[in-house]
Amino acid sequence: MKRITPAEVLRAYEATGLRPSRGVWFEVWLGTGGGETRWCGCGLTALALAAGLPERELVRQSKHVQALTVLGALDGIATGAPSYAFGFFRGFDGGPLDGMDRSIEAIRDGYADGVHAWQAVAQRYAL
């Protein structure tokens, strides 16, 4: 299993122009009155888009479909373990590991890496 570093996540945000967000896989914020349209997403989504996943595969999809699409794009690229990815997502979002088996090392590692990635992103983007 390959672990995700904060530097990789920062590079993915820079490469994609995605706005860092918590609690979502991918969202499009449409500016009102001619305002700016912003593409927002979590660290895993930034990695998937940077690896070549087309945005159109995430637009107008349910969160469940977005999660499966992002995880499918990352399979073998960034994590290799869905339990690690879900731990990462929880850690990045700042949520607890409720309902997840804390005895699984991949979940704990993913959670810790997600926390560290969010800290780096929050510092870089002043969030």
Please say whether the dihedral angle defined by the alpha carbons of residues 109, 91, 68 and 56, taken in this order, is positive or negative.
Answer: negative
Q: Where are the domains of the chain?
A: 6-122
pLDDT, tens only, 42-95: 999 999 999 899 888 888 888 888 888 888 888 765 555 778 888 999 999 998
- Please state the φ and ψ torsions of residue 40, each to the nearest 5 degrees: -120, 145
The amino acid occupying position 15 is A
Length of the chain (residues): 127
Helices and strands of the chain, counted as H and E runs: 5, 3
Distance separating alpha carbons of residues 1 and 93, to the nearest angstrom: 21
Threshold 0.75, pTM exceeds: yes
pLDDT, tens only, 1-49: 789 999 999 999 999 999 999 988 898 876 666 666 678 899 999 999 9
Give start and end residues of each alpha helix (H) in 5-93.
6-16, 43-50, 63-74, 82-93
